């Protein structure tokens, strides 16, 4: 009888390989199987060990290579074969990464697993663009929200009236495709159209790009510049600070 393996739900961080944790790197390098998304980025994916079996579970716009059920089954099957399995995700596995859903399925199947947190892009990407999501003079609160809810949900879990009235920083993950709809909902529910907004593409990577405008104009500006995922959207007065910190920052 084969001894059962173990699954590691690993967050690779926001994209810069040097922001990956030491623990994540060690587990990746010792893995038998790596089930990965595209979000870790090319540099990290190119560094995956040759000896490991690699399964591309990437979810691209309009093209899901594997369903979530198929991913769950692969994790369970490989662990039952006695393999050391890494489920590699961008950012942190429990922040809009379906890591908790996968963990629940592993528990049901009696599979041992471990979560390895990663630096979430919701914090790191704005920082690399010179935008602190909190600042004593600008924002004492911050919230994270998904820009793309599960389309199978009968009702939205987003309270747009609350979001429009929120006086801190709003950070939207996965919001490029739904940008016009989301911005429209904020303005419709009372958000000031002059509120500053930044969209940061490919954050922390060498080809990072930052687009700054206000709510009233960001859709047109984003379309003109050809903004594409992956990107983080930051809404609030802290965006103004990038005029200083973004110019001087050498972290990227």
DSSP for the chain, written as a single string: -PPP-EEEEEE-BSS-GGGS-HHHHHHHHT-SEEEE-STT-HHHHHTS-TTSEEEE--EETTEESS-HHHHHHHHHHHHHTT-EEEEEESB-TTSSSSHHHHHHHHHHTT-EEEEE----HHHHHHHHTT--S-BTTTBS-EEEEESS--TT-SS----HHHHHH--SEEEEES-STTHHHHHHHHHHTT--TT-EEEEEETTTSTT-EEEEEETTTHHHHHHHHT--SSEEEEESGGGGGHHHHHHH----
Residue pair 111/78 in contact by the 8 Å Cβ criterion: no
* d(C-alpha 147, C-alpha 182), whole Å: 7
Catalytic residue (choose from 6, 32, 54, 59): 59
Residue 214 known to be catalytic: no
Q: What's the full length of the chain, in residues?
A: 252
List the catalytic residue out of 20, 37, 83, 145. Answer: 37
Token code pair at residue 18: 């040097």
Query: From the candidates 16, 20, 78, 174, which is the catalytic residue?
Result: 174
Is 141 marked active-site?
Answer: no
Check: CB of residue 13 under 8 Å from CB of residue 91.
yes
**β pairing state of 33-36 and 84-89:** parallel
Q: State yes or no: is 237 an active-site residue.
A: no
Residue numbers annotated as active site: 37, 59, 174
């Amino acid at each position: 009888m084969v001894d059962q393996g173990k699954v590691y739900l690993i967050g690779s961080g926001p994209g810069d390989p040097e922001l990956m944790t030491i623990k994540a790197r060690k587990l990746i390098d010792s893995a038998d199987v790596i089930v990965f998304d595209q979000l870790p980025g090319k540099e990290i994916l190119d560094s995956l060990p040759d000896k490991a079996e690699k399964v591309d579970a990437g979810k691209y716009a309009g093209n899901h290579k594997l369903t979530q059920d198929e991913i769950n089954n692969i994790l369970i099957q490989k662990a039952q074969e006695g393999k050391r399995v890494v489920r590699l995700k961008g950012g942190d596995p429990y922040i809009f990464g379906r890591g908790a859903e996968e963990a629940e399925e592993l528990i049901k199947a009696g599979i041992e697993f471990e979560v390895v947190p990663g630096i979430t892009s919701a914090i790191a990407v704005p920082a690399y663009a010179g935008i602190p999501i909190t600042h004593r003079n600008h924002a004492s609160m911050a919230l994270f929200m998904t820009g793309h809810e599960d389309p199978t949900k009968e009702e939205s879990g987003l309270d747009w009236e609350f979001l429009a009235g929120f006086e801190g920083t709003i950070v939207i993950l996965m919001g490029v495709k739904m940008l016009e709809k989301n911005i429209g909902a904020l303005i419709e529910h009372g958000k000031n159209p002059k509120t500053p907004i930044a969209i940061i593409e490919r954050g922390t990577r060498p080809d990072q790009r930052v687009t700054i405008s206000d709510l009233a104009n960001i859709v047109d500006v984003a379309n003109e510049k050809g903004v594409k995922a992956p990107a983080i959207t930051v809404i609030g007065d802290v965006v103004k600070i990038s005029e200083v910190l973004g110019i001087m920052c050498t972290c990227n």
